[in-house]
Chains A and B, each alone.
Chain A
Amino acid sequence: MSTVADASPLYLRRTPARTLPPPTRRAAPIDWVRRNLLSSPANIIATLVCLVFITWIVPPLVRFLLIDATWSGSDRTACLASATNPNPGACWAFVRAWLSFFIYGFYPVAERWRVDLFFIALAFGVVWLLWLSAPRRDIGAVYFFIVLPVVSSMLLRGFPPIGLASVSTTLWGGVLVTIVVATVGMVASLPFGILLALGRRSTMPMVKILSVTFIEFVRGVPLITVLFMASVMLPLFVPERFAPDKLVRAYIGVALFASAYMAEVVRGGLAAIPRGQYEAAQALGLGYWRMMALVILPQALRVTLPNIVNTFVGLFKDTSLVFIVGIFDFLRTIEAARGDQTWASPVTSLTGYVFAALFYFVFCYGMSRYARRIEARLRRRAAVKER
């Protein structure tokens, strides 16, 4: 009889195996290409097709936008075909000449510093709110949702008591209007959308019917219709003296429209929260509003974040429809400027539209990049990370 230790043959280890470092990955570019672009016949074909497409589309684009483009000049002659530039590209000189119109519309030149100040104040608020590790984001929220609307309204519309001459909203235009309408729409649609979504899931029949009717009606008609209704019908319901001006009517139209969509997005998120979460919150004695605010909505909004941003992106682009009720938004300023005789050339309109596209793209892409980062952060945190 012998113990296990005595009997253990020589090939058995007596100490635990050493922990080895993971093998270093080969990161040579050639290796990467082989593994990712040429790994299979289908992949090779896809790679080739994409290469053909890129060579077909990119060089002419670069030539038009950059190489052959006209960067400076004082009128149309700069952008016409000439001996030095037989095939003129984008007429950026035109955009430069009209840039301040694109940004401010007819806002009085002497008062444009107010618009600049508003942009700065808005950017400050947006960064404060969206930069997750910024200090005192609670104050940031107060600033953004209470201080900023009041101050910027006084700033932009004018406030004679403190010497700011009033500027009629009919003079507003361009980027200013687009940003203001989009911001109002986004800021209003989230809370209203949440309320509507809660209303739709409510057990109170009247609240439920009202919410469902509103959501389905607004979603069932085009934005143009909503804008028309807001702009034509709204004045019928309020005394003439209090009838809101055209821009405010457009805000209301856009906000109503966005709220209905937001409500459906939020509803999807609410549906994804398991019943146990509601029960646990109730069992702890939380009432309906606290349960929603502290337990359910924080989770639901995280789930729906991509869809919320998607709605915002759609809303931002949809603001270009407000021209239909006579609002001079960014796209409308481009429309107006491209008819200018001093700059009439074959590429003027095209340049204007390309510029518009770039503007919308920068904002929308920015939003979706931000959403991606937040999503990744939330996923990391929810899945494994400790704080």
Chain B
Amino acid sequence: MANVQDAPGAQNRPDTAVEIIGLNKWYGEFHVLRDINLTVARGERIVICGPSGGGKSTLLRCINRLEDWQTGRIVVDGIELTDDPRQIVAVRRDVGMVFQHFNLFPHLTVLENCTLAPIWVRRMPKRDAEALAMRYLERVKIPEQAQKYPARLSGGQQQRVAIARALCMSPTIMLFDEPTSALDPEMVKEVLDTMVELATDGITMLVVSHEMGFARQVADRVILMDDGQIVEINEPKAFFERPQHERTRLFLQQVLR
């Protein structure tokens, strides 16, 4: 099985994958993120849940600077995210992201979707990039779709391609932004299975999701976010069985009903 930890330089990286210090963000007058502090250890798997509009996705998108913020710091893999585009690109190379709506490139085949960044960002020869892409497509169990255009694939297949595409950059951290919430129910499982399989690999994962079963099975820590704040952060067993906060209890009642 391809090992993501083979990524160059993975050994001498700091033990902290992501460090978020005093993060605040406003959309106009609206305070979306309020004083967020979070340290994610290398290899840790974190699931972030909470009611919609609570700032989960925004927080995740700050980690690869798809969103900027007003005050606070984020350090990813020892690289501080500043306004410097070189730092931003350096972080994005090492951080893979999977989106709610897949965001595959419709004008490229599945294989080309996967090889685009390795060829143009990592400067990998085309042949090697294709071999790499096929390895990951096999891993997400759709190598036979490599020559098709994304529009031909089901939602679940598209999301698995999106995961393979991100993995082709050999990221050390993977961000999942509600990866199953745009899928038909019967396709949720195939994507979750892929993610569970990935989790056994030791890659750092931050997952925004309402899939509590997944959180229980895979997460090292579960976070509840509401109103732009981290309300509760705990190990899954404690989080689900003895929630400390009223809001967590309410949220769990609603989703686990």
Contacts and interface: CB of A to CB of B under 8 A. Distances in A.
Contacts of B165: 284
A279 B99 contact: yes
B101 A276 contact: yes
B116 A294 contact: yes
A127 interface: no
A328 to B, nearest CB: 44
Interface stretch (A4-12, A80-88, A263-271, A379-387): A379-387
A284 B92 CA distance: 6
B73 to A, nearest CB: 21
Given A284-B169, A285-B92, A382 B106 contact: yes
A279 B117 contact: no
Interface residues of A, number: 25
Identify which of B92, B99, B169 gathers the most chain A CB atoms within 10 Å of its CB.
Answer: B92
A43 interface: no
Contacts of A276: 99, 101, 103
B64 A283 contact: yes
B149 A282 contact: no
Contacts of A280: 97, 99, 103-105
A382 B151 contact: yes
B149 A387 contact: yes
A295 interface: yes
B155 interface: no
B120 A384 contact: no
Nearest to A284: B117
A369 interface: no
A384 B153 CA distance: 10
Given A294-B120, A295-B105, A387-B147, A283 B92 contact: yes
A298 B108 CA distance: 10
Identify which of A279, A290, A299 gathers the most chain B CB atoms within 10 Å of its CB.
Answer: A279
B106 to A, nearest CB: 6
A286 interface: yes
B28 to A, nearest CB: 18
A208 interface: no
Nearest to B85: A287
A299 B149 CA distance: 14
Contacts of B105: 277, 280-281, 295, 299
Contacts of B149: 381-382, 385-387
Contacts of B116: 284, 286, 294-295
Given A382-B151, A387-B147, A283 B66 contact: yes
Nearest to A385: B149
B152 A384 contact: yes
A302 interface: yes
Contacts of B103: 274, 276-277, 279-280
Contacts, number: 73
B107 interface: yes
B109 A382 contact: no
Contact of A285 (B93, B106, B152): B93
Contacts of A281: 105
Contacts of B85: 287
Nearest to B93: A285
Contact of A386 (B93, B99, B152, B169): B152
Contacts of B166: 283-284
B101 to A, nearest CB: 6
B108 to A, nearest CB: 8
Interface in B100-156: 101, 103-107, 109, 116-117, 120-121, 147-149, 151-152
B236 interface: no
B120 A282 contact: no
Contact of A299 (B93, B97, B107): B107
A283 B166 CA distance: 9
A384 B166 CA distance: 25
A385 B109 CA distance: 11
A52 B121 CA distance: 65
A384 B116 CA distance: 22
A284 B121 contact: yes
Nearest to A291: B120
A277 B102 CA distance: 10
A385 B151 CA distance: 9
Nearest to B66: A279
B89 interface: yes
Given A285-B89, A294-B116, A294-B120, A299 B106 contact: yes
A294 B96 CA distance: 19
B107 A298 contact: yes
Identify which of B93, B96, B103 gathers the most chain A CB atoms within 10 Å of its CB.
Answer: B103
A286 B99 contact: no
Nearest to B98: A283
Given A276-B99, A283-B92, A283-B96, A383 B151 contact: yes
Contacts of A290: 120-121
A382 B107 contact: yes
A386 B105 CA distance: 15
B126 to A, nearest CB: 14
Contact of B109 (A277, A279, A387): A387
Identify which of A281, A284, A386, A387 gathers the most chain B CB atoms within 10 Å of its CB.
Answer: A284
Contacts of A302: 107
Nearest to A276: B103
Nearest to B175: A283
A285 B120 CA distance: 9
Contacts of B117: 284-286
B86 to A, nearest CB: 9
The 4 A-B residue pairs whose C-beta atoms are closest, nearest first, are: A280-B103, A284-B117, A276-B103, A283-B97
10 contacts: A277-B103, A279-B66, A279-B103, A283-B96, A290-B121, A299-B105, A383-B151, A386-B148, A387-B109, A387-B147
Given A285-B93, A285-B117, A382-B151, 8 more contacts: A277-B103, A279-B103, A280-B99, A283-B64, A283-B97, A284-B92, A299-B105, A383-B151
